[in-house]
A and B are shown apart, each in its own frame.
Chain A
Amino acid sequence: MCAFAGLVLMMDLRLIGIGNMRTPFSQVHRSLFPWQVVFMTSSTITGLLLVYTEPLRFYSNFLFWIKVVLMVMASINALAFHRGTYLAVAKWDLDLMPPFGARLAGAVGLTLWAAVVVAGRLIAYNWFTTP
């Protein structure tokens, strides 16, 4: 999970224009994306196993559903970026200030994945559970 979210963070920082600025975005993307897929797959498999061991506990936990919704929103954000601003990446690849669409996608992605981590961590405390 940390590997996946960490690499997403590194890419989002480049998108926003505040980190890894000496590397063109397309290169950051090309080098990190395959690893993000690898770590996302392993996180998904282990995550499903965790849910499978105690399905009722998660079903009744409000934060679990918040986390699911946030993950769906983060995926839509990534998909929208790939189908939109990223298609014209050649035009802004080396820009120190990427276009608004890219910075927005980066900031939204960063916020959503951080919220996913927060919600995921807080599930462990069993707050907001319905009996």
Chain B
Amino acid sequence: MLPYFEAMNDLAISAAIRESLWVIAVINTMHLLFLVMFAGAVLIVDLRLLGRGASEQPLAQVARDAQPWLVAALIGLTLTGIPQFLSNALREYHSYLFWMKMAVLLVALVYTFTLRRHVTLAGEARVGPATRRAVGLISIALWTAVVIQARLIGLFT
């Protein structure tokens, strides 16, 4: 895989981002703003799954309302994450935390759009409170792990 990462690292756009201080600052800041939006859209549903969210409101409604913000935030995170990655492709290749983040991210994405989505849209009648709590806790744990590893990439390289 190393040759591919070297090729991405050597792209003209990667070098341009790397060499301009303010471009990467703007991209990093936008990535963080989308992360805030993503955290809100995930947590409003997960806290509800734990049984402490908007309790009187059906779970499926809260989840449906949050979904467009979650998807929009994910698109924003991807669009800002790609140039972040390109500008540092070689550093990321050698970072154990980067690979860990991508692995957990993949699991978290699949989990969010399959099991979690299924449980949140199923409604309270079909899924018991213990299952809902477990689904919410796993979601919080997975996404927290992704964020922590992402933060640490910048610190330990």
Chain A residues at the B interface, C-beta cutoff of 8 Å: 1-3, 5-10, 13, 19-24, 27-28, 30-32, 34-35, 114, 117-118, 121-122, 125
Chain A residues positioned under 8 Å from B28 (CB to CB): 121
Check if B107 is an interface residue, CB within 8 A of chain A. no
**Cβ-neighbour of B43 out of A6, A24, A28, A34 (below 8 A):** A6
Q: What are 9 A-B contacts defined by CB distance under 8 Å? A: A6-B42, A10-B40, A10-B43, A10-B66, A20-B65, A31-B48, A31-B54, A31-B55, A117-B36
Check if B20 is an interface residue, CB within 8 A of chain A. no
A22-B65 in contact (CB<8A): yes
Contacts A30-B54, A122-B29 supplied; 5 other A-B pairs, CB < 8 Å: A10-B40, A10-B43, A28-B54, A118-B33, A125-B21
Interface residues of B in 26-61 (CB under 8 A from A): 28-29, 32-33, 35-44, 47-48, 52-57, 61
A10-B44 in contact (CB<8A): yes
B43-A23 in contact (CB<8A): no
B47-A31 in contact (CB<8A): yes
Q: How large is the interface on B (under 10, 10 to 19, 20 to 34, 35 or more residues)?
A: 20 to 34
**Cβ-neighbour of A31 out of B53, B64, B147 (below 8 A):** B53
Chain A residues positioned under 8 Å from B25 (CB to CB): 121-122, 125
**CA separation between A30 and B54, bound complex, in Å?**
7
Smallest Cβ distance from A85 to chain B, in angstroms? 20
Smallest Cβ distance from A2 to chain B, in angstroms? 4
Check if B62 is an interface residue, CB within 8 A of chain A. yes
B48-A7 in contact (CB<8A): no
B32-A117 in contact (CB<8A): yes
Smallest Cβ distance from B144 to chain A, in angstroms? 9
Check if B69 is an interface residue, CB within 8 A of chain A. yes
A5-B36 in contact (CB<8A): yes
B44-A20 in contact (CB<8A): yes
Chain A residues positioned under 8 Å from B48 (CB to CB): 31
B44-A7 in contact (CB<8A): yes
Chain B residues positioned under 8 Å from A2 (CB to CB): 32, 35-36, 38-39, 147
A9-B43 in contact (CB<8A): no
B41-A22 in contact (CB<8A): no
**CA separation between A83 and B38, bound complex, in Å?**
30
A23-B29 in contact (CB<8A): no
Closest to A21 in B: B65
Chain B residues positioned under 8 Å from A1 (CB to CB): 36
**CA separation between A35 and B43, bound complex, in Å?**
10
Given contact pairs A19-B65, A118-B33, A125-B21, A10 touches B41 in the complex (Cβ within 8 A): yes
Chain B residues positioned under 8 Å from A118 (CB to CB): 29, 33
